[in-house]
A = this chain, B = another copy of it.
């Protein structure tokens, strides 16, 4: 059993988004991302089985999909296959929780 305070683990950096590994097990990988306004995790995909969930904990921006962008604010969740193109772009500073199962 493990507790994390995700706002403490939300790392903002000038050079690019901050990424903190919160948890890794045979069942799931959990990461915290901090995006400063304007930063992004570009659209990408992995040719692997599994899904990713992306939860906005604070701030606002957009989820990136293959042919669209989807508004993303605190409390919004996106679930995508890992093999589907997905990404995040921050409009304001954002803290984002990513869960990948099975872990990659």
Contacts and interface: CB of A to CB of B under 8 A. Distances in A.
Nearest to A8: B75
Integer count of this chain's copies in the complex: 2
A65 interface: yes
**Secondary structure call for the A interface:** strand
A27 B57 contact: no
Interface in A18-68: 22-23, 25, 27-28, 30, 49-51, 53, 55, 57-58, 63, 65
Contacts of A2: 78-80
Interface residues on A, range: 35 or more
Interface of A: 1-8, 22-23, 25, 27-28, 30, 49-51, 53, 55, 57-58, 63, 65, 70, 75-81, 84, 86, 95, 97, 99, 101-102
